[in-house]
Amino acid sequence: MGEVKSYQDLTVWQHAMDLASAVYALTKRLPDSEKFGLVSQMQRAAVSVPANIAEGHGSGQGRVFVRYLLISRGSLMELGTYLALIARLGLCPEKLLGDVKAQHE
């Protein structure tokens, strides 16, 4: 494992960015009627995960970083709830939903 010079070097941040990208691809497939509902909420939660990792890393303080990681985890759980809901409602092709769920776990 190489030296961490930036939050961008963190594997967890890289995975969170991949997840956010996948969520944006998935939300493009949701009905227009969800533009200001699930789409907005899912995108906000997905972006929050890597953003909080970056912000916490930038603090330079261990305890503060851990707090931001916990906030990030909360956003991840929120996103999981939205994924479960769109699965229940059948709003997205199962294959695409499965791909995002795999990254979420």
| Total domains, the chain | 1
Global pTM? 0.89
CB atoms within 10 A of CB 22: 18
| 36 within domain boundaries | yes
The domain that holds 65 is classified in CATH as 1.20.1440.60
Within-domain flag for 1: no
Along the 105 residues of the chain, how does pLDDT read in single tens digits? 568 789 999 999 999 999 999 999 999 999 999 999 999 999 999 999 999 999 999 988 889 999 999 999 999 999 999 999 999 999 987 777 787 877 777
